[in-house]
Amino acid sequence: MNTDYSTAEELGAALRAGDVSSAELTEDAIARIGRHDESLNAICVPDFDRAREAARAADRARARGEDGPLLGVPVTVKECYDIAGLPTTWGIPEHRDHRPAEDAVQVSRLRNAGAVILGKTNVPLGLQDVQTFNDVYGTTNNPWDHGRTPGGSSGGSAAALAAGFGALSIGSDLGGSLRNPAHYCGVYAHKPSLGLVASRGMVPPDVPALPADPDLAVVGPMARSARDLTLLLDVMAGPDPLTRGVAYGLTLPPARHRRLAGFRVLVLDRHPLLPTSAAVRAGVGRVAEALVAGGARVVRESPLLPDPAEAAVLYQQLLISGSVARFPVGTDELIRAEVAALSPDDRSLTATRLRAMLFSHHDWLRANGLRELHRQGWRRFFTEFDAVVCPVMPTPAFPHTHHPGPMTRTIDIDGAEYPYFDQLVWAGTATMPGLPATAVPAGLSPAGLPVGAQIIGPMFEDRTPLMLAELLEREMGGFRPPG
C-alpha cells in the first residue's frame, strides 16, 4: 500500500481494516522524510523515537478493540506549539535551548485522538513573515520549486504535507499563516472563527503558557483534503478546559447546504488597494466556474459587502499595533520621526503600518469599535449569502527574499513592485472580523505553481466553508503532488 499522499481518512480506514499498521505507516513516513527533507528542510525538529513508540502503542490499542479519530495516523506540528521535551524557539536564536515541560493543549488533543507526532515543522523568525526561514533552523523550500518560499508562518507544515510527510499538520494564522502556505504549496487549510479553537501552549518561548484570548490570531488544521480539515478541526475545536471549558461546551452549526446548488456565493478577484496577479485571478475564476457548473448562485458584486478598503486599513492597524507590542521593531523616537515625516494626506498601507506602531490604547479602541461595525455588516451580508470566494494572496509563491528589513521589501505583481506587507490585504478580509476561511487548491499557474482561493463563511459557522471546500474538491479535483 503506497501511503505517501493518502489522506488521514484513507489511512484511518486502512488501519481499521487491518490493511496496514501504524508502525508501518510511521516507518514509511520517517523513511520518506529521510529521503526528501534534506532538500526541503520542512521538519526542523524530528521526534522519530517517540513517534515509533506512539505507533506501537496505537497498534496495541487497536488490537484491544479501541479506536479514535486519528488513532495511528502520522502527523506533524508547527514548531511554535509546545511539545514536552522538544525545543520551542519560534526561530529566535536566543531561545534555541528552550524546552517546555508540558504539551500545548492542541498537542494534547492530537495525542488523545491517537495521532502519531513525527516532529515539528519550520517557521519564520517570531512567526513574523510570509516566508519560512530563521537562524536556528535555516530556510524551508517550496516542494514545487526549491527556489521559492512555501509561505509562512506555517510554511514548514504546508511543505511537509505537499511532500508527503504525514497526513495532517496543525498551524496558526494571524497574517494568513495557515492560508498563504496552503495557497503556495497546493494543499488545504482552515482558519477557524476567532475564539473557536483553544491556543494555550502556542506562545513565544519567553511567555508563560497560560490561557489567553489573542486578538486576530487563531490555530487550525492543515491537510491534503477538505474532509481531513473537518476531521482535524473536530479534534481541535472547543474552549480551553481551564477557562470557558469549565462552563461551556461546543456545538458547531451544520453546514448551510450539502450540495453546490444550494450555495449563494460572492466571488471577488480584485482588491481596491492592491492588484491581483493574472495567475491568481485565473484560479479564482476556475473556482467560480465550478460553482456555476454545480448550480450555485454566483455574483461578482454586492452592496452588502463591508468596505474592503476600510477593512484592509483596520486589519493593518490591529495587526501591526499588536505585533509591535509583542516584538518591538525599534525605538519609539525613531518611529515617531518616520511618522512625523509622513504627509497628512498619505493614506497608503505603508503609512498605516507606521502610524499603527505608535497606537495608544485609545487608538486601538477606536479601531476595535470600527471592527465591530464591520462584523455587523458581515452579519447582514450573510443573511443574503453563504460564502465569499476570493484570493488568499495576490501572487503564486515568490522567490526567496531574505532582506533583513521586511518593511523595505517589495512583492512583484505581474511585473510591478508593491510594498511587501501590502500583500496581506486578502488575508485580512477574514482575519480582521474573525471569520472562518478555508483555503483550497485552484489549479496551477502558467509557470506550473499552485494557486489557491479562500472560502470565507459566517462567524462560528465553520462547517459551511468546509462543506463548500469539500464539494469543490469533488467538482474540481483537489491536491496534486509536486512534479
In terms of C-beta density within 10 A (0-12 exposed, 13-18 middle, 19 or more buried), how is residue 342 classed?
A: middle
CA of 1: how far to CAs of 34, 128, 433, in Å?
A: 19, 40, 44
CA distance 265 to 14: 36
CA distance 194 to 256: 20
CA distance 332 to 311: 26
C-beta neighbour count of 248 within 10 angstroms: 10
CA atoms within 13 A on the CB side of 80: 31
Of these residues, 21, 78, 193, 277, which one is catalytic?
78
Determine contact, residues 186/169, Cβ cutoff 8 Å: no
Determine contact, residues 420/168, Cβ cutoff 8 Å: no
Of these residues, 21, 22, 108, 153, which one is catalytic?
153
Does 191 participate in catalysis according to the annotation? no
Determine contact, residues 431/180, Cβ cutoff 8 Å: no
Cα-only R_g, the chain:
21
In the three-class reduction of DSSP (H, G, I as helix; E, B as strand; rest coil), residue 270 is classed as coil
196-197-198 Cα angle (round to 5): 125
Closest CA to 260 of 297, 229, 228: 297
Does 157 participate in catalysis according to the annotation? no
C-beta neighbour count of 416 within 10 angstroms: 9
Determine contact, residues 27/49, Cβ cutoff 8 Å: no
Does 199 participate in catalysis according to the annotation? no
In DSSP terms, 78 is beta-bridged to 121
Strand 138-139 to 133-134 pairing:
antiparallel
Q: Which three cell numbers stand for residue 170?
A: 496543525
Of these residues, 6, 177, 225, 321, which one is catalytic?
177
- Kindly write down the DSSP assignment for every residue of 146-162, as one continuous string: TTB---SSSHHHHHHHH
Q: Who's near 419: CB < 8 A, 6+ residues apart?
A: 348, 349, 350, 409, 410, 411
Q: Who's near 232: CB < 8 A, 6+ residues apart?
A: 8, 70, 168, 170, 221, 223
Q: Which three cell numbers stand for residue 478?
A: 483537489
Name the DSSP letter for residue 432.
T
CA distance 454 to 440: 6
Longest dimension (CA), the chain: 71
Closest CA to 312 of 429, 445, 449: 429
Q: How many residues does the chain have?
A: 483
Specify the residue for cell string 492543515.
Answer: 222
Which residues have a catalytic role annotated? Answer: 78, 153, 177
